[in-house]
Structure 1
Amino acid sequence: MTQHHGTTGRIIPVERLQPGDHSCMDVTDRASRWQVLTAFTRTGLARGEKVMLLLDPSDLNDEDAVACLDGGTGHMEAALKSGQFVLDRNTSAYLPDGRFSKERQVRDFAAEAERAREAGYPRLRGAGDMGWAPRAGVADDEVIDYEASLAELFADGYLTALCCYDRQQCGDPLVAATRTVHPLQVMECLGGLEVTRAPGGGRRIAGSAELGSREEFTRALREALGPRPGRGSSRYELDLTDLVYMEAHCAWQLLDLVAGLPRKDTAVVRCGPMPATALRGLGSADVPQLELHVADPQDTQDTGDTAEAEDVA
C-alpha cells in the first residue's frame, strides 16, 4: 500500500478507467506492468473498442507480447487479424523519421481516432511506453508540453489513453511531472491498494481489498477512524469510490470499526454498488454510526466527486 500526499491526479486501478480518460502510470516492475496492460487490453476488446499497444523495442517481441496478453484464449490473435487490436513499437509511432514533433503526433493520433470511428468502433483506447523520449534526447519540459497538448483529443470521450513511464528510463523528475498533466494516475499493479489523505483527515482508498491487501486495508481504516481529541461529535470521511473489490472480511472489519465509534459520531462511507452490496449483506443497516452513500461508478469518471445515487443510514 502506498500513501500519496499531494498527488495531483486521482489514483485509480486500471479497471476504473472510463472513456475519455487520459492517464499515466509509474512503471517499476515488469510483471506487474504486463498484468495492468493485459487488463487494459482485454477490457477494451471485450467492450468492442479498438485497442492500440505501443511497446518499447526492448520489450517483449510481438509473438511473446501477444501470448502474454492472450493467456491461452486465442482472442488476441483473432483481434490482430481483424484489426481490432494493433501492436506496434513506440519508436515507429513517435519517431517515424528519427525525430519528435508534437504537432505531427497530435495530428496522427487524431487521424487514428477518426479511422477507428469510420471503421465502426465505439471507442479507441491506447497504451504507450514513453521510454522513447529520454532515449531520443527529448527534454522533459517538451514531453510535458506534448502531454498537455493532447487534452482536446479527449474532450468528446472517444479516446482512452494510458501513458507508461518507467522510473529507471525516464527519471524521477519527469515521472513526477507527468502527474501534473494527467488527470488520472493508474495503479501499477492489480489487487493492491492506494491510500490518499483527503482534506479534513479523511481517506480515499482505491484498488482491491482482498486477502493480499487485508492488513493494509485494516490499517488504513484504523488510521481514518481513529480517536479525535476534543469534545463533541466527530464526522469521519471514507471515499471507497475507486475500490473495485472488497472481500467479506474487509467489509466486516469496516463495519466493526464504525460500530465501535461513539454513538454521537458519524462515518460517511462513499462507494460503488459492489462494496455497498458486501456491506449491506453483513448488516450495515444495523450500524447507526454509518452513513452510506452509493454512487454509480460512471458518475466519477471526470472528477473525484461522488454523485450520490442512494443513502443508507
Structure 2
Amino acid sequence: MSSERSAERRIVSVDALRLGDHACMGTADVAGESPWKVFTAYTRTSLARREKVLLVMDPDDLTDDEVVTLLDAGGGQAVAAWDSGQLVLRRNTEMYVPDGRFEKERTIDAYRAEVDRSYAEGWSGLRVTADMSWAPRVRLDPERLLDYEASVAPLFADPLFTAICWYDRRRFGDELTARFAEVHPVRVVDLPDSPPVTGIPEGGRIAGGAEPGTGPEFVEALREALDHRNDAGPGHFVLDLRDLCFMEAHCAWQLISLAASLPPGSAVTVRCGELLALVLEQLGAAEVPQLVVRVEDEAAAAG
C-alpha cells in the first residue's frame, strides 16, 4: 500500500467505510466478540447500493442457509440477493488454500477475478469480508500472512473494491491480531446497541443502531432530541445521524412522523449517510415540509 494510504489509518464504524478501504476487524473490537452484527450492517448497506457482496467464511462457521437467514431477518432482501447472485458465500479454505497450500499471487488473482466478475454482472462494486482463520488452520507462518496483507494494495487501487479482514483473537492471540491491524489502513469497530443522544448546539447527535431490538430506544432518543424545540411555536434544529450504523424502515417512518408533527414553519435538518437518506426518501420524507435530509460523507463528518 502507498505511504499516503498508510498514513491515513482510521478507526471507524462499519457504515463509515469508504469505497476502496482495506479494513481489519478483531473480535476484541465488537461487543460480545461476535462479528455478525457488523457483517449484517455491512451486507445490508452494500446490497442497498447495488454492490455485490462476497462473504468468505470459515468452514466451521454457520451453514450457507443459516447465514442467509441471519442476514435477512425476515425482510427478504438477503434472500433475494442470494437468489440473484448479488450475495455470494464462500469458505476461506476455498479462496486461500484450495490445494492445502497458500500462494500469495494466486490469492490476489482470485480476488481480482471476483472484482472483474462483479463488474461483468452489472454490479456497482464488490464488498468482501473474509475470516482469516484459514491461516492458523494450515499453520501458515504469520510473517507470510503479514506480507500478503501488505501486498494487496493493487486490488484497492480500484475504488469500488472494499474489504474487511476479520481476525479472531482466540485463534491468533492479542499480539498477532494487533500486528495484523497495523498493516491495514482502516480498523472497524462496533457501535453500542442503545442509541445515546449527545447534545450539539443545534439539536442532538444519535449513534448506535435502530433495529427491531433497539427500535423503542431509538424512538425515545428521537423524542429526547426533539424535546429541545420551543413548544410555543416553530423550532429549527439539527439531528446528526451520521454515526447511526443502521436503521430499520419502521424507525425511519417514526422519524418522518415526528418531524411531521412539529408546528408549521419548523425545520428539522437530518445529517446522515447515503443509505439512511435513501430509506427516508423511499418512505416519503420529501412530502414533509418540516424535514430536510442532507447527505454528508465522512469527510464532512470529520469537520
In structure 2, relative to structure 1, the CA distance for the partners of 1:140 and 1:31 (3 Å cut) is closer
Residue 252 (structure 2) aligns with: none
Residue 45 (structure 2) aligns with: 43
Residue 23 (structure 1) aligns with: 23
Name the SS for the 1:51 alignment partner: strand
Instruction: Give the alignment partner of residue 64 of structure 1, picking from 45, 63, 66.
Output: 66
1:85 aligns with 2:74: no
Q: Deviations over 1:166-201 (max 9, x none)?
A: 0001122221111221111000455489xxxxxxxx
Matches within 5 A, 1:289-304: 296-299=296-299
Q: Is the 8 A contact 1:44 1:50 kept in 2?
A: yes
In structure 2, relative to structure 1, the CA distance for the partners of 1:49 and 1:242 (3 Å cut) is same
* Rounded Cα–Cα distance in structure 2 between residues aligned with 1:111 and 1:189: 33
Query: TM-score by structure 2 length?
Result: 0.63
Matches within 5 A, 1:144-223: 144-189=146-191, 191=193, 208=207
Q: Is the 8 A contact 1:32 1:189 kept in 2?
A: no
Q: Which runs of 5+ in 2 are unaligned?
A: 1-6, 196-205, 215-239, 246-269, 274-293
In structure 2, relative to structure 1, the CA distance for the partners of 1:242 and 1:176 (3 Å cut) is farther
Name the SS for the 2:61 alignment partner: coil
CA RMSD of aligned residues (A): 3.3
Matches within 5 A, 1:87-126: 87-126=89-128
Q: Is the 8 A contact 1:45 1:84 kept in 2?
A: yes
Q: Deviations over 1:249-294 (max 9, x none)?
A: xxxxxxxxxxxxxxxxxxxxxxx9359xxxxxxxxxxxxxxxxxx9
Name the SS for the 1:60 alignment partner: coil
Q: Is the 8 A contact 1:22 1:161 kept in 2?
A: yes
Q: Is the 8 A contact 1:55 1:88 kept in 2?
A: yes
* Rounded Cα–Cα distance in structure 2 between residues aligned with 1:59 and 1:146: 24
* Rounded Cα–Cα distance in structure 1 between residues aligned with 2:241 and 2:13: 7
Q: Which runs of 5+ in 1 are unaligned?
A: 1-6, 194-206, 213-240, 247-271, 276-293, 309-313
* Rounded Cα–Cα distance in structure 2 between residues aligned with 1:242 and 1:175: 31
Residue 121 of structure 1, CA deviation: 0.9
Q: How many residues align?
A: 215
Q: Is the 8 A contact 1:70 1:76 kept in 2?
A: yes
In structure 2, relative to structure 1, the CA distance for the partners of 1:163 and 1:13 (3 Å cut) is same
Structure 1 residue runs of 4 or more that deviate by more than 6 Å after TM superposition: 209-212
